[in-house]
A and B are shown apart, each in its own frame.
Chain A
Amino acid sequence: MSDNNTVNHMIELTKTNRITIGVVVVLVILLLGFIFMKPAKYAFNTTLDKEIKDLKVTEYQMSPQALAQAILKKDAALVLVDVRSPFEFAKGHLPEAKNIYKINLFSDDQIDFFKDLKKGNKTAVLYGASADEANMPFMILKQMGIDNVKYLNVGYEHMKSGNWAEIAANSLKFNDETPIVDFAQFISDAQKQNQPTSNTTQEVSKPVGDKPKTVVKPKTPAAGGGDEGC
């Protein structure tokens, strides 16, 4: 009897041993997973609500006039960042601009650069070939909580001349969002014009209807001609 008991005992022991070993292995794998897990390095830190409110904030835009004045004054609180490709940058860039190609924005060096600027109370002004090119990296940085950034609301071409005094004195306001002309006016004017001349437009449309008929004609000679030939 006692022999039988010990055998049973042994079987159960090996069974539980296997289970325990299995569980320990699983735990070790989980632990290793936690150790080597890369936390998301870059994350958005502002709320969507704030971003929607910021859509109307014009202070994030930098006008060419303000930038030209800052360059004339040699304002050290502004740091220019060129988001175009290194190739475009090499062809020409604004004075003392740092080239951070927009594709390479996410590296520790670049993000640290922006964070250091924030610590030093400096503002980065992003510019590209157009306001829109600078807008995208600007938005991403701003949403990550790096809010000491602005974007130039004109493209590089506009500033290329380097004639800062002239650019600073320019009275034109640049904002992508302002309508260039009153298109509503154009449309209503055009409709007024069209009302008396509506007959002519009908005349114009008539020949369109007639001409397909003349297009049909060539078919029959072509087919008939083929028959005659044979």
Chain B
Amino acid sequence: MKKRYIFLALVPIVLSVLLALLPDKSNSIDAKRLAKNLKSAKYTGVSPDKLLLESVNDDRFMQPDELATVIMGQDPSYMLIDLRDAGQFGKFTLPGAINIPSDQILTDENRATFESDAYKYVLISNGTVLSDQVWMILRRAGYDNLKVLNGGLNQFYQLYLNPPKPGELDPSEAFENYRFRKAVGAHLGLPNPDEFIPGGSAAVASPTTTTNKAQTVTKTPTKTVVPKKAASGGDEGC
């Protein structure tokens, strides 16, 4: 009889000892963050096969035009992070970007930057490869809400410095895109593409197209008002 009680008492004790001796392979990010050794951690956030799947689809990419709308609209939910060194950052960057050089992304201070859930973080470098590598390291460290600027600053500035001109037969969206990109270029302080491109024809024609764009923008809200008045006028008349 007593043996049975002893056995029953021993089982939980042995189990708890086993639990204490289990190797630490936890994926608990918070535990790793609290332990200061995040940088020397091997088992963290996301497993390799999951990360591969994430890296294969393009969800992490932010296209230049998307980023341009964020910059023009001064969207506060995005934080632009320039990963180049301080020298390059000082010369030029994107409006509102902060500088975290790629080799300092996991210092205590900078880690605190990535903790907030309020922001989407856009990683920016000259190309895509470095920001993508940093994206992967940050994902492995367990951080979320990360975006990568597709094509980097090289393509970003090129696109707005010299936006591809739509042909005559292109759909109207192509023209709208072109005007939008020129407006972004002007916002970034880049020279007007029509004046800048060698052999670019009517430099005079370009301001009129920009004003046309402004017209269409202002028109649309007023237009919506017009039918109402006309309708009410029609009612009165009848």
* Residues of chain A at the chain B interface (Cβ within 8 Å): 12-13, 16, 19-20, 23, 27, 30, 40, 42-49, 51-53, 55-56, 102-103, 105-106, 130-132, 135-137, 139-140, 143-144, 153, 175-184, 186-187, 189-191, 193, 200, 204, 207-208, 211-212, 215-216, 218-219, 222-224, 226-230
- CB <8 Å contact, A143 and B48: yes
Residues on the B chain within 8 Å of A222, using CB: 226, 229-230, 233
Q: List 6 A-B contacts (CB under 8 A).
A: A137-B52, A140-B51, A177-B127, A177-B129, A187-B92, A226-B237
Main secondary structure of the interface of B (DSSP, over half): helix
Answer yes or no: B40 CB below 8 A from chain A CBs: yes
Q: How large is the interface on B (under 10, 10 to 19, 20 to 34, 35 or more residues)?
A: 35 or more
A131 to nearest B CB, angstroms?
6
**Shortest Cβ distance from A122 into chain B, in angstroms?**
22
Known: A44-B42, A56-B102, A179-B154. 9 other contacts (CB 8 A): A16-B1, A45-B42, A47-B40, A52-B105, A55-B102, A136-B132, A140-B55, A177-B127, A186-B190
B218 touches A (CB below 8 Å): yes
Residue numbers in B under 8 Å from A191 (CB-CB): 189
Known: A48-B38, A103-B56, A183-B161. A139 touches B136 (CB 8 A): yes
Say yes or no: B92 contacts A43, CB within 8 Å.
no
Task: Give the CA-CA distance A51 to B129 in the complex, in Å.
Answer: 14
Q: How far is the CA of A34 from the CA of B214 in the complex (A)?
A: 68
Which listed residue (B43, B136, B234) contacts A226, Cβ 8 A?
B234
Q: Is the CB of B56 within 8 A of A136?
A: yes
Counting from the closest, the 10 A-B pairs by CB-CB distance are A230-B237, A176-B127, A190-B191, A223-B233, A184-B91, A136-B55, A184-B92, A49-B39, A176-B129, A208-B214
How many angstroms between the C-alpha atoms of A214 and B137 in the bound complex?
56
CA distance A226 to B238 in the complex (A): 10
CB A74 to nearest CB in B, in angstroms, measures 29
Bound complex: CA A187 to CA B11 (Å): 74
Asked if B77 is at the interface (CB within 8 A of a chain A CB), the reply is: no
Tell me whether A48 and B39 are in contact (CB under 8 A).
yes
Partner of A177, one of B25, B130, B190, B232: B130
Per-position binary interface string of chain B over residues 116-160, scored 1 when its CB falls under 8 Å from any chain A CB and 0 otherwise: 000000000111111011101100110000000000111001100
Q: Are A207 and B47 neighbours in the complex by a CB distance under 8 Å? A: no
- Chain B residues within an 8 Å CB radius of A176: 126-130, 152
